[in-house]
Amino acid sequence: MFDSQLQRIQGNQFWLRPLGLLLGAVGLVLMSVSLLRFSASSDAQLLSGLLALLWGAMLYLLCSYSAQQPHLPAKASWFSRIKFKLKRLVFNTMGLIVLLIALASVLLSLRLARLFLL
């Protein structure tokens, strides 16, 4: 039941994947331009590019996470069940890491917004 809900959500958010890639590309371009140009505003562009790259990567990873989760066949052997549980553990750990990185990027965005607004 939970897997079907994840697949439905992932299917509804499939259109966000190219947006995540585009946002990451814009962030990469901003970072490249700020590294090639040495001026007072290059630090702000570098941080903005880093944030855009982080947000693009997080959007892409969150949209493509649930499509790759392993499924257990109806009749599986003992070894297959253990292997399935280990794969699930790895995917859940990766999902937790992605969630923590998303939280860190939100906190970083708030701190940088406060820095730019002062």
pLDDT of residue 35: 82
- What pLDDT is recorded for position 87? 83
- What angle, rounded to 10 degrees, do the helices at 42-64 and 78-117 form? 150
Give the residue numbers spanning the domain of 73: 2-117
How many structural domains compose the chain? Answer: 1
Tens digit of pLDDT for each residue in 1-34? 455 665 666 667 777 788 888 988 998 888 888 8
Q: 3-state SS of the chain: helix, strand, coil percent to 5?
A: 85, 0, 15
